[in-house]
Structure 1
Amino acid sequence: MSKAPTGFDADFFVPANERDPVKAARDPARPLPKRFYKQAVAAPAEGGYGIFLDGRPVNTPARRPLVAPSLPLAEAIAAEWAGQGETIDPATMPLTKLMNTALDGVAAQMHEVEAEVAKYAGSDLICYRAGEPESLAAAQAAAWDPLVAFARDRLGARLALAEGVMFVAQPQAALDAIARALRDYVGEGAGASLRLAALSVMTTLTGSAIIALATALRAIDVDAAWAAANVDEDWQMRAWGADAEAMARRAARFAEFEAAATLARHSTPQ
């Protein structure tokens, strides 16, 4: 993004804990940069589809071209830029931030990130059930039993279930099957780092590699996946009421999950 006005830099799209600490100490409360463009569009570029601000291509914080492998994905990213007001607020641009993470970070450490995602299968959310109250146990079964069946029938992984929080070791055959499914989905070439980044975010947000894979493979839609990840929280809210601050945090997490699902579903080259 050359010729951007003074005050804007790509560091705004880097998580706060990964920013240059010297720079952060020098200016810990920087104002949001002003919008410096009128139009944001997606258009063909080398390697796929780029995002252009008044004709200038968008780059990642590491100055790599921000290029999507499919037009729908590029259009979704461009929509985030087009939707900005007088200032540019990265908090409202989860897809842009995730693309930056994939291209600048995940692409350089594919094996490590893949291993971290696979590790979640060893203690997956959907395997740990409440014995009581009966209403919570029923809600978990309704949301999670279809996902256990998905793991068995689609991934070839027969998962062991447990009651309570006592750890249960998963059969190695199941873990191997999930690892293979993860590897097969991520694949190679253009879009691989994007698909892996999407899986990583969805897995971390839900605590479930199975929910993430089911979403990526379109076995479950985004709303159903998010509901499955929040069965316990929803049950507690029905029992005790919702807290406004907690709901705001949840809405922010859902925006990240939705962005990751978008990335997962549109990261195959057209």
Structure 2
Amino acid sequence: MATLPGRRLLQRCAAGARCRLLGTVAEASPPREGDTIYVKRPASAATRDETSVEMPMSFMTGSVVGKRFYRDATVRRADDGNGWTVMLDYRTLKSPAKRPLKLPSRTLAMAIAAEWEYQESDGIRPFTMPLMKLACTALERVPVTRTKVIDNLMKKFHQDLVFCRSPDDNELTIGVHQKQKEKFDPILDWVNTEFGFKPVVYTSFFGGKQDGELTQAVETVLKKTTDFELASIDAMAAAAHSLVIPLAIFRGKLRIEKAIELIRLEEDHQVILSHYLSLYSGSCFSGLTVQCLIPPGR
């Protein structure tokens, strides 16, 4: 992928200039059933501003949907002044369901415009555009499946990563347990302060059961979210195996970098442990050449 357009974007945004992303001209994609990108201009359109780009439904599946057909990607205020839209040249970007892709913030619109800018001339690849896909989910799927999304999140709440602890009576897990206690306890304290109920911690592989009042308090917060907020929380919860961590990000308790550290805590510990075991094994076999992986910082 080209890096020059990305640098231009950052430079222009830093200088407070209009968000204009420079790209290359490409041919229109050959027609293929289900994968055609429709450039639509009503017969009554008086200006080019009324032209739109409708993405095919296959955009949500990740397949290549056609060659790049635009030169510039820009952002501008929505026609009603409420929200932001992405423009591909003079065309307004629409969702696969042919709805205007109206975004709640300029920052999100710029990020999605950047995803469109980084597309190569030989094909538009949806799997490289996670924010575009998330925005389409928030606009089209969450409004009609909102209750189901919240129910699924609450079903997994009792098996939350933050509530589960490794046993502290085993040599192989004591190290993980200590790190979990160090890193997760402040989050549990935050849950207690934020929702008014102390979470239950358990070591069972199958999880446990949280207090009904805590569960109700968390569900109430989810019901008050916007469609974009709920879509983001749901996506993060699926990746993190945790609802508490996305809620902590949403409420400003955690930054993304810290959240990733918590999500990867056990995995990172196992990687470091395996490095030490490799080093130990290498020292036990004299006369053999053993490649040892040294832990970070050593």
TM-score bracket for this pair, using the shorter chain length:
0.7 to 0.9
* 2:240 corresponding residue in structure 1: 206
State TM-score, norm by structure 1: 0.76
User: What is the SS of the residue equivalent to 1:52?
Assistant: strand
TM-score (norm 2): 0.69
After superposition, give the CA deviation of every residue in 1:146-194 in whole Å (9 maximum; x if it has no partner).
211111111223110012414321111111111122223x0xxxxx111
- Comparing 77-86 and 88-97, the one that deviates more: 77-86
Equivalent residue number for residue 228 of structure 1 = 262
2:142 pairs with 1:109: no
Shift of 1:33: 2.0
Unpaired runs of 5+ residues, structure 1, are 17-29, 187-191, 242-270
Query: Whose relative contact order is higher, 1 or 2, with alpha carbons under 8 Å and at least 6 apart?
Result: 1
Number of aligned residues: 220
Q: Is the 8 A contact 1:106 1:193 kept in 2?
A: yes
Indicate whether 1:193 and 2:227 are aligned. Answer: yes
The aligned counterpart of 1:99 is 135
Which residue, 139, 155, 180 being the options, matches 1:140? 180
The question of whether the paired residues in 2 share the 8 Å contact of 1:121 and 1:178 is answered with no
Partner Cα separation in structure 1 for residue 87 and residue 131 of structure 2: 16
- The answer to whether structure 1 residue 158 and structure 2 residue 198 are counterparts is yes
Residue number among 56, 78, 83 corresponding to 2:91 in the alignment: 56
- 1:67 is aligned to 102
CA gap of 1:31–1:120, structure 2 versus 1, over 3 A, is: closer
Q: Report the Cα distance in structure 1 between the residues aligned to 2:145 and 2:218, rounded to whole angstroms.
A: 20
Corresponding position of 1:41 = 74
CA deviation profile, 1:50-85 (whole Å, cap 9, x unmatched):
000001011111111111011111111111111222
Equivalent pair of 1:120/1:203 in contact (CA under 8 Å): no
On the 8 A contact 2:64/2:126 being kept in 1, the answer is: no
The structure where helix makes up a greater share of residues is 1
Confirm or deny: 8 A CA contact 1:12 1:90 kept in the other structure: no
Between the aligned partners of 2:213 and 2:196, the Cα distance in structure 1 is 9
What amino acid is the match of 2:156?
Y
Alignment of 1:78-97 (within 5 A): 78-86=113-121, 87-97=123-133
**Does residue 1:76 correspond to 2:97, yes or no?**
no
Q: Which structure 2 segments of 5+ residues have no match?
A: 1-26, 38-55, 276-298
In structure 2, the CA distance between the partners of 1:15 and 1:158, relative to structure 1 (3 Å rule), is farther
Matched to 1:79, the amino acid is A
The answer for the alignment partner of 1:23 in structure 2 is none
* Counterpart amino acid of residue 221 in structure 1: R
Structure 1 residue aligned with 2:165, among 94, 105, 129? Answer: 129
The two structures, once aligned, show a CA RMSD in angstroms of 2.0
**Secondary structure in structure 1 of the residue aligned to 2:218:** helix
1:181-230 superposed Cα distances (whole Å, 9 cap, x missing partner): 2223x0xxxxx111111111111111111001001112100111122112
Q: Which runs of 4+ in 1 moved over 3 A?
A: 3-9
8 Å contact from structure 1 (residues 155, 181) kept in 2? no
